[in-house]
Amino acid sequence: MATTLVSIALPALAGPVTESFSGAAYASDGNQLLYRETHYLFSGDHGGERVVLYQCPDGRAFARKRSRDDGNAQAPDFDLVDARVGYREGVRRNGNQREVYVQRTSAQPEQADALRLPADGVIDTGFEAFARLH
């Protein structure tokens, strides 16, 4: 397991941190902490960015997600990396189109396909913007 992803997750972002908040996930009985996540929101000239760090109960980071809003807050591009097995998934621009991708382990090749998003479609952290709008 990676000792920390902070050095990967937080450098060279589009602007200053404008907000941060944390949450904790517990087992269904409510007694066992499964993981914590901290969201860092950044503002910038080209829309907002968000970095989410996922941490084990002992504080070691095991994953990070970075999302970028370039004009459609409810359908941002994002990249999730889980360092435990080298898992990656996300949505990104490829020319004028968008694509969804996944890499199940670091030893497997990435798979990608075109994404046809409906006009009111929602992607990942964009659910928050969708909920606020509706």
For 32-95, the three-class secondary structure string (H helix, E strand, C coil) is CEEEEEEEEEECCCCCCEEEEEEECCCCCEEEEEEEECCCCCCCCEEEEEECCCCEEEEEEEEC
What is the residue-averaged pLDDT of the chain? 87
pTM of the shown model:
0.83
| Mean pLDDT, range 76-105, rounded to an integer | 94
Using one digit for the tens of pLDDT, what is the confidence trace for 20-59? 999 999 999 999 999 999 999 887 655 688 999 999 999 9
Reply yes or no on whether the pLDDT at 87 is more than 90. Answer: yes
C-alpha angle with apex 65: 63 to 66, nearest 5 degrees? 145
